[in-house]
Structure 1
Amino acid sequence: MEPRLLNQAAFEVVGLEILTTPASSDMPMLWTRFVPRMPEIAATGDDPFSYGVMGRLAGKEARFEYLACLKARPGSVVPAGMVRKTIPAGTYAVFETPFSRIAQAFEQIFRVWLPQATGQRVPASLFYERYAEDFNPHDPEARLTIHIPFEPSAAQA
């Protein structure tokens, strides 16, 4: 599994957030709550994707914040019960995977690819999944991308 590197501008997302653990059933349940509320978000209009944004909690490796969200217009109103986060600008390693293999993809990224990569994951940064507008969670072959903030070595940059 080899990624492509993407230089990305910062952007804001708005959505519903939970505290969870890897492969928890909480995440699909969060999406079930979030999808009907998507029209409440002042989306940018130029981005037909939805996002699953993750951030590790310091000292709590097994738990993380997970945000089901859309890219939002900067400064737009945050609907009740939702939160806003900024995805930082930078270089991201982008991996494509079918939905049915998302858990294996994360395992491959964090246990195989990152330890062998020429460069390093940017510590304490948010990483995210990106789902196309026509994404169908009932289709095991539906494609998504995983974006990991990454600082390539000087030779790779």
Structure 2
Amino acid sequence: MSNYHVTVADYPSKQLVGMKVRTSMKNSHQDCPALWQHFGPRIGELLGNRESYGVSVMINEEEFYYWAVVEWEPLSPLPEGMERIDIPAGKYAKCTAPSLNELADVYMYVYGGWPESQDEYTFDEKKACIELYRTGWQPEDALDVYMPLKAK
């Protein structure tokens, strides 16, 4: 596993809309891509920014909800089968995964040791992790990952 560079970043609040799946650590490598395959063709139903996001919120140590979402214009109608998730502004640990193949390694690296290497923050497990997929993103492209923080 590589050493990844982690910084503390202020992240703005966002209103996101998309589709959700309940999955587990064991099944996420199948469930999350399947969700994107289902959601991708429907992105055009939503107005607004075309950057997309993967958002995850832990349910327990093994299970989590995962959303495939885009930013949403609140005045536009919410398409059938989609739901809204609001991301609060706050401090996040930011790390860049060089490609989709290294995404799991980034999560393991950051959650596995980064908080102990600094004094000011710990992870806020109650808030969402965010994966930013820029417009035109492809699986071999880099993506930014934001993990929510709280003061120690």
Distance 2:69 2:143 in 1: 15
Q: Identity of paired residues, percent? A: 27
Pick the aligned partner of 1:121 from 80, 98, 123.
123
> Given that residues 15 and 83 in structure 1 are in contact (C-alpha distance below 8 angstroms), is that contact kept between their aligned partners in structure 2?
yes
Counterpart AA for 1:32: Q
CA RMSD of aligned residues (A): 1.6
Q: CA deviation at 1:121?
A: 1.1
Partner of 2:12 in structure 1? 9
Q: TM-score, normalised by structure 2?
A: 0.87
Partner of 1:151 in structure 2? 150
Partner of 2:24 in structure 1? 21
Q: CA deviation at 1:108?
A: 0.7
Q: TM-score, normalised by structure 1?
A: 0.85
Partner of 1:90 in structure 2? 90
Partner of 1:33 in structure 2? 38
Distance 1:110 1:16 in 2: 26
> Given that residues 6 and 110 in structure 2 are in contact (C-alpha distance below 8 angstroms), is that contact kept between their aligned partners in structure 1?
no
Counterpart AA for 2:24: T
Gaps of 5+ in 2: none
Partner of 2:109 in structure 1? 108
Q: Deviations over 1:53-90 (max 9, x none)?
A: 00011xx2101000000011235322111110001111
**Number of residue pairs the alignment of both structures matches:** 145
> Given that residues 49 and 130 in structure 1 are in contact (C-alpha distance below 8 angstroms), is that contact kept between their aligned partners in structure 2?
yes
Aligned residue for 1:114, secondary structure, equals: helix
Counterpart AA for 1:10: S
Gaps of 5+ in 1: none
Q: CA deviation at 1:116?
A: 3.0
Aligned residue for 1:111, secondary structure, equals: helix
